Each structure stands twice: as C-alpha cells, then as structure tokens.
A and B are shown apart, each in its own frame.
Chain A
Amino acid sequence: MKQSGNILFTGVGGQGILLASELTAYAQLAAGYDVKKSEVHGMAQRGGSVVAHLKYGERVYSPLIEPGTADIQVAFEELEAVRYLPFLHRDSAVVVNTQRILPPAVATGRASYPDNILEELRTRHIHVVAVDAFAVAREIGEIRTANVVLVGAMSNFLAVSPGIFLDVIDERIKKGFREVNKKAFTAGRDLVYASRRHDAKR
C-alpha cells in the first residue's frame, strides 16, 4: 500500500468539489492515514477557479501540495484540468469530468475556449481519464451525484478499498441520498475499471 500521496481537486465554485474531497479524505482516514486538506473560502468561491489540496500519509505536515507532486488530479471541468499543470508530474493520473464551463472572458465573447484542451495533458504523457460524470449521474437518476461519480472513478487509483468509500457515504451522507450516492460511486468506479481492463487487453 502506498505510504503517502497527494490529490488535487480542481473545478469551478459551486460544482460540489467540497463534498468530493471530504468523502475522499474520510475514506483515507478510515484506511488509517493522517490526512490534511486545504481549501479557500470567501471571494474565491463565487464562480471562480477553485482548488482543494488533499495530502495523506503517516504524518502530514504541510497542507499544500508541492508543484510537481500531485499524484492524482480530480478535475470537475476541462479547462481547470489543465490550469494546474505545474502541480502534475509524468506519472500523474487526471480524472476529468468532460464538462466545459465558459470563463467570463469566453462567455462574453472576448476570448475563446481552447479546442482539445485535454491534449495538453496527453501530449505530456499524463494519464487522462475522461468521464462524462453528468451522463452517468443522469442515468442513475440524480444529476447532483456527478461529483460522487468522479470520486468513484478516482478511487481506482487509490489503495483504499471501495467498501471503505461506501461505508463513508453511509456515515456522511443524509439518509435520503445515501443509496443513490453509493450507486454513483460504484458506477464511476466500474466505468474506469472497465476501461482500464480494455486498455490492458489492447
């Protein structure tokens, strides 16, 4: 089992990044790690670019991930998946939601949204797992679980067993939403697991 690691959560204010990072952190805690998480509140939240740092290990001091050391990035939006590139390294895995939220300059016609932005990661040999989390969440019947779909997809890259994640969902999520979130987690996890097996066969 990996002794320590760094997970970066990126996206746009209001996308449910907080819950995703909390569930991940609680799963790591349950697995016996020390965990620190850092995020920024206040003005930065209002629809702006948002980032949360999660670090786990035997003993974590700094709550901030160093540039070049994020092992996993969970990006809730395509542009945001690339914005924090200096934090990644060649063996990083990036789980990205294939959603595009137009930044103000693009939405007001003063700039354009870059085409094929994820290629910027792939050409640097970073492992990109693109997930249409909304489509998966819609299929499950609760669009608001897209963030948990992404957690499920990301969990494939952690040594924490899926059962621990499901227990955390049981513990942390309100009764009415538990089952649907567990479904979302499992669907996200299976999606990537299946594609990885597919890659392996090729």
Chain B
Amino acid sequence: MRPKTGSLWLSGNEAIALGAWEAGVRVASGYPGTPSTEILENLCSYEGVYTEWAPNEKVALEVALGACFAGVRALATMKHVGLNVASDPLFTASYTGVRGGLVVITADDPEMHSSQNEQDNRNYAFAAKLPMFEPSDPAEAKEMLARAFEVSEQYDTPVLFRITTRIAHVKGVVETGKRIGPAEASIEKVPGKFVMLPGPARTRRAAIEERMTDLRDLAETLGENRIEPGPTTRGFITAGTSYNYVKEAFPEAAVLKLGMVWPLPGEKIRDFATGVDELIVVEELDPFLETHIKAMGVRCRGKDLIPSRGELSSFIVRKSIEPEKVGELFDPIELPMRPPNMCAGCPHRGLFYSLSRMKDVFVSGDIGCYTLAALPPLSAMDACVCMGASIGMAHGMAKALGEKGKGRIVAVIGDSTFIHSGITGLINSVYNDSYSLVIILDNRITAMTGHQQNPASGANIKGEPAQAVNLEKLCRAIGVKRVTVVNPHDIEATGKVLKKEIARGKTSVVISRAPCVLLPSEVKRKKPVYRTVTENCTGCMACIRIGCPAISWHPLTPGEAVERGYRAKQKGFSMISGVLCNGCGQCAALCKFDAITAVEDEG
C-alpha cells in the first residue's frame, strides 16, 4: 500500500512507520514489545520495504546492520529492555559505522505500563558513544526520523532513536511528505570498517572520538535543538515528551528544547544558562541531561525538584516547581482493583490451575500473557525477570538446592519467548544435567503484544506461510529425552502429566499446546457455551478458583440461600456469563456437582 497523503491523524508508531517509508528504508527488523510493536506492524503493509519479525532484538539489529552494510537504509525496532538483548551488536556497530543509514528505535516505558522495569535508554547513547534523537510527538517523530537517517549517513554512525509510551501510543496530526527513493544495494568489502579484529577496532575507536566531536559541533547548530525565548527569570532545558509538560505547565517560559539528546550542545546550553536567572532541567526518569549539564560546570536544578520515578505530566511538573499553584482535587476513593486478567477460555489458565495445586513447587516464570498467572486467585508463578530467564533460573535453583529441590522446580515459558532466548537456557539445563521441568506454553502466536507471528507460528509478518519450528524435534535435538505434549484445557490429564514429569528428577519438557482464544480462527470456531445449572451449585467455589472472567461469585445471606432452595449455610453460588464464555470447558471439568453444562452456541 502507498500511504495516504496530506494531513493525517496518526499514533507515534504509525508516524514512525510512515517516516521510515518516506526516508527510503529498505530493510526493517524487530521483535514485538510494547510500546514499539505497531511500528513494524504498520511498515509491513507499505510497498518497497522489506520487514520481518526476528526471533529476538539482537538478531533484529544484526539484520539491520547487515542491510546497512549492503548500502541501504535500515531500521531496527524494539522496546527498551530489547535493547539490552541487542546491546552486543550495538556497541560494536558504533565502531563499524554504516554504509546505508542505520537507525535503532528504542521504545521506553516509563511507569512500566507493560514492562518489568523502566530503565532509561538514553544511557545507552552515552555508553555506546552514539547520537540519540528524541521526538516530542508523532509529527516530530516522523520528521526527526528523516533527520536521524541523514545524520547516520553523514557521520558514519548508527543512530539511536528514543521514544516513550507517550509518543508511541499518542495520536496527533501528522503531515505527510515525499518519499526518498531507496538506495541501490551492493556488495562492498571494507575490512577496515567491517571486520572488528583488535587492529581495525583500535583505528575505529579513534574514528568514534572524531565522530563524537563532529556531532557535538552539529548539536550546536541543529534545528532540532532550539531555543524558545521567554522571560529571563527562569529557563527550562527539556526533551521528548517532557517538553510538552513544560509547555503546558509554564507556557510563557524560556525553553531550550533538545531534539538530539546525545551528544549535547555545550555552548548552546551555557549561553542559555547565562541568559536566565534559574535553570531547571525537566526530564523523565534518570537525571541524564542534568548530570551531563552539571559536568559542564553549568548550575541547574533538576531531580531535586522533579521525580525520577514513573511518568511525568504537566501536573507533576507544575506541582514539583510551584506547588502553591496547584488547586484542590477530589481525593480518590478506595475501590476494588481491576488488574488485567487472562481472557475467558485462555489455555494458560488450565495449565496454571494444575500448577496452583502444587503448593511446594517453585514456578520460575517468564514474560508474556501467562505472567498474569502470578496474580490471585491462581498465584501460580514465583519469579519473572526477563525474556527467557525462566529456564536458567530454574536450573540455578536446582543446582543450589540439590536433592532437596527434586520434584519442586518448574520453568514455564511461552512459545515466542522460548525462541527469543529460552533455547540456550534449555541447552544449558540438558548439558549440565539439571532436573527442572520445562513447560513450553505454545499458544501458536505472540499474544501479549497483540498477535504477532513468530518462527514457531507458521507465518511471517505479513501472514504469509513460513517455515515453523517444530518445538518437539528442537527439544529432542538438544538432548531432552522426554517431550510430552498436553492439551491444557484438559485439566485432569494435564495435572497427571505434570505430576509425573516434575517427579522424574531429570530435565524434561512438557509442551502445553492450545491456540490463543483470541486468534481469528479460534474466534470463528464453533464452540459450546457453558452454563451454570444454579440449582445444582453447592457453593464449593471450585470453578471460582480458576479465576475465569466469565465466572462470578454471588454471595447469599442464609435467608436468601433458603429462598433459593439451598442449605442455609451455603454462602453463595457461581454463575457463568454466556456473553463472556469462550467455551473452553475447564470449569466444567472441575465441577463435581453437575452444576456446569455445555449448551451449543446459538451464535
């Protein structure tokens, strides 16, 4: 498709996809991760640009690097923690530099809306000696991406491009532009640049210093680093979405807005600081700008006023600086929380229900929808750190516990997460003779981020057929002697297999396989709907304990119980919502009183 032209209303991620297309990007690779996912999801529908989901961010960056070595513009996209995975190629790509432009997008998640930490990836720009751009809204994101590619090619450097949730998932007005024709790819051997043996690397190390000096000069004149004049009493230095908050909290104030947040324009900052009585740096998360500005010998305030945790807002900025100007607000009322939950009919629920019954088993978990199993009522996950960590952590616990831990250690990991970085952990467990059980939750898709294809799903980013990894064969090839496939909706059979495999005392794999209920094929599939036969319900709460959003508990007073024909001491009854039920039948298997029956779906 060719994008529409004119004035559009786009999310930051849609704008970046459009910007990449306009900038003539030829190859783009990434791994899904909130809030970055929609960049490639949009870009893959454009003509003339190759896009893919890579198995992880390290591979994605290596793919983009290779494409840029072939002389075309390339893009890698990932969430903030994904850049940790990709940091190995990143740090040395800083040495090789580029042929075609290379931009790496890091989508940070201050406030941890959908992440396990809120690391500030501006620190990567400093550490890897790379320039970094940071837009303030969707329109700027698109314009700035074009600039980032120019800088990449002119200064022979990969460019980091940082967005946050409030850029990625904010919609705003964006003006379309003209597309630059992509460069012609070619092979050119430049060993002094591309082969990072110690000798050439030392030469390139010197080139990095020259490049950073040149980039500091560029920062002084770059249009993206602009001063918005105002009264001299107080000036702000800010960047990214924080700029918006400053503009709303102090609309008249003098502002130095940095579009390139590394390296910094020293002279511009000093001049600006000299021109104002009080200088305040407003930035989300780390005192990144503040620290480097103070290192220049410039006096400023920053994190002594502005919080370094969580997202900012114009409210927080105003309150931090002029608390007396904040009016009175309604106090919040304490209400039952509404945390996210696994969907009705989710196959993971059946598996975790079985694990929840094994109270002395430690469940080493991983990243995905299934991490929600850590919440009550299942409470069936005891650790979750980063992509792929479950298997290594389980192995480490097993080695620490020795005989004491036998039959008590389980790792659970999703299909996409297993391919991302679980395979090496499993190789380690087998190689070093572990005894933890590894459960692969194979729901045939990368679900948490909104259904992206992966190397095990049998389709590529465009939904076209692709080779699918055979997980059973893969595990056997690694040396896993026992690989058992279970249907997690069959709670009884699954429970039996788990008990047996956990007790074995050797590393074995159970693949819990059933498609995500939200997959279009599953939505279309005709399924029974389960209904409660309320007169049979004894209020035992067996079905309530699986935590399905379609099942609810209705408490009764003794009088009400008797009125309904129950025993007076029955505390309530359970009820299935026919609208919400997805027909998995897990609850029916748990009911010993024939109070849950299947009826054919009328719809």
The chain A residues found within 8 Å of chain B, CB to CB, are 12-13, 25-26, 29, 34-49, 60-64, 66-68, 79-80, 82-83, 85-86, 88-89, 102-114, 117, 120, 124
Query: Nearest chain-B residue to A22 (Cβ)?
Result: B171
B343 at the interface (CB under 8 A from A): yes
User: Which of B337, B338, B376, B450 is packed against the most chain A CB atoms within 10 Å?
Assistant: B338
A63 to B338, CA, bound (A): 24
CB < 8 Å neighbour of B170 from A38, A42, A83, A109: A38
B553 within 8 A of A: yes
- Bound: A80/B335 CA distance, A: 9
Residues of A within 8 A of B547 (CB): 104, 108
Complex contact B336–A67 (CB within 8 A)? no
Q: Select the stretch in B55-63, B243-251, B349-357 that faces chain A.
A: B243-251
- Selected contact of B372 from candidates A36, A40, A46, A64, CB within 8 Å: A46
Interchain CB contact (< 8 A) of B336 among A25, A48, A113: A113
Set of chain A residues within 8 Å of B432, measured between Cβ atoms: none
Q: Find out whether the CB atom of A109 lies under 8 angstroms from the CB atom of B333.
A: no
Contact with B333, one of A43, A49, A82 (Cβ below 8 angstroms): A82
Instruction: Say which residue of A47, A60, A103 sits within 8 Å of B337 (CB atoms).
Output: A103
Q: Chain B: which residue is nearest A84 at the CB level?
A: B332
Taking the nearest CB of chain A, how far is it from the CB of B538, in angstroms?
A: 14
11 A–B pairs (Cβ distance < 8 Å), ordered by A: A12-B338, A29-B9, A29-B173, A35-B171, A38-B171, A43-B340, A47-B340, A63-B170, A85-B331, A108-B544, A109-B553
- Within 8 Å of chain A (Cβ to Cβ): is B315? yes
Closest residue of chain A to B79 (Cβ to Cβ) is A42
Report the separation of the CA atoms of residues A39 and B329 in the bound assembly, to the nearest whole angstrom.
23
Assess the B113–A35 pair: CB atoms within 8 A.
no
With A42-B449, A79-B335 known as contacts, the answer to whether A104 contacts B572 (CB < 8 A) is: no
- In the complex, whether B212 has a CB less than 8 A from a CB of chain A is no
Shortest beta-carbon distance from A171 to chain B in Å: 12
Bound complex: CA A41 to CA B9 (Å): 18
Expressed in whole angstroms, the minimum distance between the Cβ of B260 and any Cβ of chain A is 20
Q: How close is B337's CB to chain A, nearest CB, in angstroms?
A: 6
Which residues of A lie under 8 Å from residue B38 when comparing CB positions?
41
Contact between chains at B335 and A13 (CB < 8 Å): no
A189 to chain B, nearest CB (A): 23
Q: How far is the CA of A41 from the CA of B69 in the complex (A)?
A: 34
Cβ contact within 8 Å between A82 and B337:
no
B338 interface neighbour in A34, A49, A86, Cβ under 8 Å? A49
Residues from chain B with a CB closer than 8 A to the CB of A107 are: 544, 549, 551-553
The CA-CA distance from A37 to B167 in the complex, in Å, is: 10
Q: Are A42 and B9 closer than 8 Å at their CB atoms?
A: no
Nearest Cβ on chain B to A157's Cβ, whole angstroms = 19
The complex places the Cα of A89 from the Cα of B375 at a distance, in Å, of 34
Interface pair B339/A34, CB less than 8 Å apart? no
Does the CB pair A34–B9 fall under 8 Å?
A: no
Which of A13, A38, A86 has the largest number of chain B CB atoms within 10 A?
Answer: A38
| Interface presence of B142 (CB below 8 A) | no
Residues of B within 8 Å of A88, CB to CB, are 330
Contact residues in A for B570 (Cβ distance below 8 Å): none
Q: Which 10 A-B pairs have the closest CB atoms?
A: A42-B114, A42-B34, A48-B340, A46-B340, A109-B553, A61-B244, A49-B338, A63-B170, A107-B552, A43-B114
The reply to whether A37 and B171 contact each other, CB–CB distance below 8 Å, is yes
Q: Which residue of B lies closest to A26 (CB)?
A: B9
* A79→B340 contact, CB < 8 A: no
**What is the CA–CA distance of A113 and B171 in the complex, to the nearest angstrom?**
34
Closest chain-A Cβ to B592's Cβ sits at a distance in Å of 18
In the complex, number of A-B residue pairs with CB atoms less than 8 Å apart = 173
Judging by beta carbons under 8 Å apart, are A44 and B113 in contact? yes
Inter-chain contact B335/A47, CB cutoff 8 Å: no
Say how far B40's CB is from chain A's closest CB, in angstroms: 14
B335 near A114: Cβ-Cβ < 8 Å = yes
Q: Are the CB atoms of B248 and A61 closer together than 8 Å?
A: yes
Query: Which residues from chain B contact A103 at a C-beta distance below 8 Å?
Result: 336-338
Residues of A contacting B248 in the complex (Cβ-Cβ under 8 angstroms): 61-62, 66
Please tell me if the beta carbons of A66 and B166 are within 8 angstroms of each other in the complex: no
Q: Is there contact, CB below 8 Å, between B450 and A104? A: no
- Chain A contacts of B371 at CB under 8 A? 43
Is there contact, CB below 8 Å, between A106 and B171? no
Q: Report A-chain residues with C-beta under 8 Å of the C-beta of B247.
A: 61-62
A25/B9 contact (C-beta < 8 A), A46-B340, A105-B337, A124-B330 known = yes
| Residue B327 is within 8 A (CB to CB) of chain A in the complex | yes
For B323, list chain A residues within 8 Å (CB). Answer: none
In chain B, positions 25-43 with a C-beta closer than 8 Å to chain A are: 34-35, 37-38
A68 in contact with B329 (CB, 8 Å): yes
**Nearest chain B CB to A121 CB, angstrom units:** 9
Contact A36 B137 (CB under 8 A): yes
Query: A165 CB to closest chain B CB, in angstroms?
Result: 16
Q: Smallest CB-CB separation from A107: which chain B residue?
A: B552
Q: For the complex, what is the distance from the CA of A26 to the CA of B173, rounded to whole Å? A: 11
* Cα-based distance from A129 to B155 in the complex (angstroms): 59
A105→B315 CA distance, assembly (Å): 31
Q: Provided the pairs A61-B248, A82-B333, A85-B330 are in contact, do residues A46 and B172 lie with their beta carbons within 8 angstroms? A: no
- What residues on B are CB-neighbors of A44 within 8 Å? 113-114, 340
The residue in B9, B171, B551 that gathers the most chain A C-beta atoms within 10 A of its C-beta is B171
Partner of B113, one of A34, A42, A120: A42
Let me know if B172 and A35 touch, CB within 8 A. yes
Of A39, A46, A112, the contact of B169 (CB 8 Å cutoff) = A39
- Cβ of B555 < 8 Å from any Cβ of A? yes
Residues of chain B within 8 A (CB-CB) of A124 are 330
Docked pose: A117 CA to B334 CA in angstroms: 11
Instruction: Find out whether the CB atom of A83 lies under 8 angstroms from the CB atom of B335.
Output: yes
Do the beta carbons of A40 and B165 come within 8 Å of each other?
yes
B173 contact set on A, CB distance < 8 A: 29, 34-35
Q: Which residue of B lies closest to A47 (CB)?
A: B341
What's the Cα separation between A48 and B547 when bound, in Å?
14
| Contact, CB under 8 Å: A43 / B113 | yes
